[in-house]
Structure 1
Amino acid sequence: MTEHTLTVAGVAVDTRHWIGGERVASTETFTDVSPIDGSLLGEISRGTAMEAAAAVAAAKAAFPAWAATHRAERARILHAVADGVEKRLEELAIVETCDNGALLRSHRRGVMPRVAHNFRFFADWLLKLEHEDFETRGHTNHVSWDPAGPCVLITPWNAPLMLATWKVAPALAAGNTVILKPAEWTPLTASLLADIAAEAGLPAGVLNVVQGYGSEIGDALTSHPDVRRISFTGSVPTAKRIAASAAANLTPLSLELGGKSPLLVFADADLDLAVDLAVEQYDNAGQVCLAATRFLVQESVAEEFTRRFVAKAGQLTQGDPRDEATDIGPNIHPRQLEKIDGFVQRAIAAGARAVIGGHRGDGQYYAPTLLTDVAQDSEIVQEEVFGPVLTLQTFATEDEAVRLANDTRFGLAATLATGDPERAERVTAQLVAGTVWTNCFFVRDLQAPFGGSRHSGVGREGGTWSFDFYCDVKNTVTAPNGWRNHG
């Protein structure tokens, strides 16, 4: 081991940035701590505007050659990256669990396989990306997707590598170069990804990883005139700062932001299914942007739904996420735990009742919580908590259910439980959301559009929508029989 290497569960992780195909250390560091038990993971290079500028310069220098690389070769390299992810899947899973506290079993079975799938999907989509030529008064229109240039990708801590590669993979497939800025609370798997990409043959400078605090390097990245795309997943206040920073250069943005999504349960629903969907909202200790944190239950079944929910939630095991028996792990950081508890205690002081939970556990664990007797205009109903805290309200009619569901500033997702397909069609047509699930939850396909409405985001990514964002879409119009033979 060197002074720039730390070991997590037997896995060596380089703590330096990855810029232009080389490891670059900063003079200052920041501390990375595991949410599982508060143990020190290591000291990480703390980027400044200097490292941010160097990463953009490296991406700019590497862009022409990567953009000119044939589609098939870019796809081959992305598949090689996926191979590397699969080869190191167990290492990635345990490192990320130690770094962000999510369940190890989920990382092994779902999250890290999805990381590899992100690369394979966009590599394959690239090879079939086309728009049928069409004619206008005898002229031929041909649509193409041109690489845009260096892309800044700023990613969150709740699913660090999966959400990073959801952006990295299409950006690279499109022929762009990337500057990845991982969340400072979870930097480790981004560093491992840099190693994997280099081993897979990705040319130097095509992928760069800069670590540090957004407040210190964010503006240097998002305001840089050589950056041609910015994609961010995180909070609304941070998104507003990024948008203001990018405005000077009119840099296109893709923003995936917060949610306060509803779960609508109608009296004709399969209540066992509805309860299963409801308990699933505690996944990842409630740190899921898509989570349906507001239960809206029809009055006639609300009491029975609540009884079954309490019984089902009582079977959950909270504890060490490395244990296969654990269902709920810790929350990410003491600051986030304070935020969660503040929401709950203010709600209780305002008259809410904690049916279950309503308090901290040991360490960075928060008890799974369900609050009732909450007003529609209350903070706990209107603002994203991002923890294992759910609310329950009742409604009498379908129209009231839709009104309550749409009555926040967010519009990321919605979940609907009903046994009536006609009702499902009526209600889903009226819900303001980027994704609606009917009698299911968290079924995701990478070819589907993903994003939010209102304050939940700007734009859509997934399938061709990703290439539309990460490329300059061009239409070439050719006149009929307009060629001259210059002999």
Structure 2
Amino acid sequence: MTEHTLTVAGVAVDTRHWIGGRRVASTETFTDVSPIDGSTIGEISRGTALEAAAAVAAAKAAFPAWAATPRAERARILHAIADGVEKRIEELSIVETTDNGALLRSHRRGVIPRVVHNFRFFADWLLKLEHEDFETRGHTNHVSWDPAGPSVLITPWNAPLMLATWKVAPALAAGNTVILKPAEWSPLTASLLADIAAEAGLPAGVLNVVQGYGSEIGDALTSHPDVRRISFTGSVPTAKRIAESAANNLTPLSLELGGKSPLLVFADADLDLAVDLAVEQYDNAGQVCLAATRFLVEESVAEEFTRRFVEKASALKQGDPRDAATDIGPNIHPRQLEKIDGFVQRALAAGARAVIGGHRKDGQYYAPTLLTDVDQDSEIVQEEVFGPVLTLQTFSTEEEAVRLANDTRFGLAATLATGDPERAERVTAQLVAGTVWVNCFFVRDLQAPFGGSRHSGVGREGGTWSFDFYCDVKNTVTAPNGWKNHG
């Protein structure tokens, strides 16, 4: 072990940046704290504009060779990275749980295996990526995807490695080089990913990882003239700053932002299913951008829905996320907990009623909360809380349900519970959302487009949409009989 190595639940993690195929320390550090018990995990290298410039320079230098690497070889290396992740699922799971407080059982069973799938999916999709040639007045049109260049990927803290590799995998598959900037509240598994990628044979400079505060390193990355793509997942205010920073260079952006998604429950729905979907919104302590945090329930079943929901939600166990019996863990940071409680207390002061919860618990834990008697234009209905806080409103007609569902500045997702397929078709056609789930929740396929409408984002990623973003899509038009002088 060295002064730059932490031991986290028995796993060695390097605290330095990964730039140009080597570890680079900063003169300053920031403290990484576990949300489970508030204990200090360790000191992490705190990047500045200097490290940002070095990472972009390394990515720029590595780009020509990586872009020229045949598709089959790029795919092979991505599969090798997936192999490396697969071998270390247990280590990555315990480190990520320690770092961000999400359930260990979820990391083991779904989240980290999804990291493996991210790399395998985009490696395989790369090999079949094509557009059928077509003719225009006898001329042949051929569509191709050319690597765009160094890509800055700025990722959130609620599912750090999974959401990072949702961007890293297609960017690398496309032939781009990457500068990954993980969230400062959960940086550790990004460092481990750098080790795994290097062991898999990814050339130096193709993946770079820089840690630190967005306010200190972010602008240096997003305003850099050599950056060709920026993908960001996070808050609307930060996205606006990134867009301003990137504007001078007209750097293309993909932004996946906040949500205030509805769950519409109609009287003809299977109420047991609807309640199951509703309780699922407490997943990851409510720290899920896609969560349907606004329950819109038809008046005739609202009382029964609420009774069943309270019964089921009250049975959830909140506590240490490393315990297999735990259903809800901590919120990530004291600042986030303060934000969550502020929303709830202001809502209660304005007349809302807490059916369950409505208060902090010990440490960084917030009681699962459901608020009723809320106005449509109230802060608690209109703004993203990003914690285990849900609201319930009622409606009397289908038209009112759609109106309430669409009446926010967001449009990331929506969930619909109904027993009428014709109603489902009518309502989903009117909902403003990037993803709509009907009688289900969080079913996602990597080949599907993903992104948000309105203030929930710009652009779509997933399947070919990811390659459309990370590449310069080119159309080559060839004249007929143009080879008379050849040979």
TM-score (norm 1): 1.00
Write out aligned runs for 1:178-217 (5 A).
178-217=178-217
2:465 and 2:36 map into 1 onto residues whose CA distance is 37
Residue 370 of structure 1, CA deviation: 0.1
Aligned residue in 2 for 1:288: 288
1:265 and 1:283 map into 2 onto residues whose CA distance is 19
Q: Secondary structure at the match of 1:436?
A: strand
2:299 and 2:278 map into 1 onto residues whose CA distance is 17
1:172 and 1:273 map into 2 onto residues whose CA distance is 40
2:65 and 2:310 map into 1 onto residues whose CA distance is 58
1:447 and 1:335 map into 2 onto residues whose CA distance is 36
Q: Secondary structure at the match of 2:424?
A: helix
Residue 393 of structure 1, CA deviation: 0.1
Residue 274 of structure 1, CA deviation: 0.1
Residue 351 of structure 1, CA deviation: 0.1
1:400 and 1:221 map into 2 onto residues whose CA distance is 45
2:191 and 2:223 map into 1 onto residues whose CA distance is 24
Q: Secondary structure at the match of 2:251?
A: coil
1:310 and 1:486 map into 2 onto residues whose CA distance is 78
Alpha-carbon displacement from aligned partner over 1:215-237 (angstroms, at most 9, x marks no partner): 00000000000000000000000
1:167 and 1:87 map into 2 onto residues whose CA distance is 21
Q: Secondary structure at the match of 1:54?
A: helix
1:182 and 1:349 map into 2 onto residues whose CA distance is 37
Alpha-carbon displacement from aligned partner over 1:303-362 (angstroms, at most 9, x marks no partner): 000000000001100000000000000000000000000000000000000000000010
2:252 and 2:43 map into 1 onto residues whose CA distance is 34
Q: Secondary structure at the match of 1:110?
A: helix
Q: Secondary structure at the match of 1:338?
A: helix
Residue 79 of structure 1, CA deviation: 0.1
1:434 and 1:358 map into 2 onto residues whose CA distance is 30
Aligned residue in 1 for 2:410: 410
* Residues 137 and 345 of structure 1: CA distance in aligned 2, closer, same or farther (over 3 Å): same
Q: Secondary structure at the match of 2:320?
A: coil
Write out aligned runs for 1:139-218 (5 A).
139-218=139-218
1:313 and 1:91 map into 2 onto residues whose CA distance is 31
2:73 and 2:139 map into 1 onto residues whose CA distance is 32
Q: Secondary structure at the match of 1:183?
A: coil
1:258 and 1:227 map into 2 onto residues whose CA distance is 25
Alpha-carbon displacement from aligned partner over 1:422-468 (angstroms, at most 9, x marks no partner): 00000000000000000000000000000000000000000000000
Q: Secondary structure at the match of 1:348?
A: helix
Aligned residue in 2 for 1:328: 328
Aligned residue in 1 for 2:90: 90
Alpha-carbon displacement from aligned partner over 1:352-384 (angstroms, at most 9, x marks no partner): 000000000100000000000000000000000
CA RMSD of aligned residues (A): 0.4
Residue 405 of structure 1, CA deviation: 0.1
1:404 and 1:485 map into 2 onto residues whose CA distance is 67
1:251 and 1:174 map into 2 onto residues whose CA distance is 17
2:486 and 2:330 map into 1 onto residues whose CA distance is 73
Residue 484 of structure 1, CA deviation: 2.5
Alpha-carbon displacement from aligned partner over 1:98-130 (angstroms, at most 9, x marks no partner): 000000000000000000000000000000000
Residue 486 of structure 1, CA deviation: 4.6
Alpha-carbon displacement from aligned partner over 1:114-155 (angstroms, at most 9, x marks no partner): 000000000000000000000000000000000000000000
Q: Secondary structure at the match of 1:189?
A: helix
1:76 and 1:6 map into 2 onto residues whose CA distance is 31
Aligned residue in 2 for 1:480: 480
Residue 482 of structure 1, CA deviation: 0.8
Residue 159 of structure 1, CA deviation: 0.2
2:340 and 2:399 map into 1 onto residues whose CA distance is 31
1:157 and 1:372 map into 2 onto residues whose CA distance is 29
Q: Figure out how many residues of one structure are paired with residues of the other and give that number.
A: 487
1:410 and 1:461 map into 2 onto residues whose CA distance is 18
Aligned residue in 1 for 2:14: 14
Alpha-carbon displacement from aligned partner over 1:194-222 (angstroms, at most 9, x marks no partner): 00000000000000000000000000000
Q: Secondary structure at the match of 1:255?
A: strand
Q: Secondary structure at the match of 2:423?
A: helix
Residue 19 of structure 1, CA deviation: 0.1
Q: Secondary structure at the match of 2:230?
A: strand
Q: Secondary structure at the match of 1:80?
A: helix
1:13 and 1:117 map into 2 onto residues whose CA distance is 23
Alpha-carbon displacement from aligned partner over 1:239-282 (angstroms, at most 9, x marks no partner): 00000000000000000000000000000000000000000000
Q: Secondary structure at the match of 2:111?
A: helix
Q: Secondary structure at the match of 2:482?
A: coil
Deviates more, 1:476-485 or 1:266-275: 476-485
Alpha-carbon displacement from aligned partner over 1:55-103 (angstroms, at most 9, x marks no partner): 0000000000000000000000000000000001100000000000000
Q: Secondary structure at the match of 1:217?
A: helix
Query: Which ranges in structure 1 are unaligned for 5 or more consecutive residues?
Result: none
Alpha-carbon displacement from aligned partner over 1:29-69 (angstroms, at most 9, x marks no partner): 00000000001100000000000000000000000000000
Alpha-carbon displacement from aligned partner over 1:282-321 (angstroms, at most 9, x marks no partner): 0000000000000000000000000000000011000000
1:409 and 1:485 map into 2 onto residues whose CA distance is 60
Residue 481 of structure 1, CA deviation: 0.7
2:358 and 2:347 map into 1 onto residues whose CA distance is 10
Write out aligned runs for 1:1-400 (5 A).
1-400=1-400
Residue 485 of structure 1, CA deviation: 2.5
Q: Secondary structure at the match of 1:288?
A: coil
Alpha-carbon displacement from aligned partner over 1:382-407 (angstroms, at most 9, x marks no partner): 00000000000000000000000000
2:198 and 2:431 map into 1 onto residues whose CA distance is 44
Q: Secondary structure at the match of 1:18?
A: strand
- Superposed structure 1 runs of 4+ greater than 3 Å apart: none
2:152 and 2:198 map into 1 onto residues whose CA distance is 19
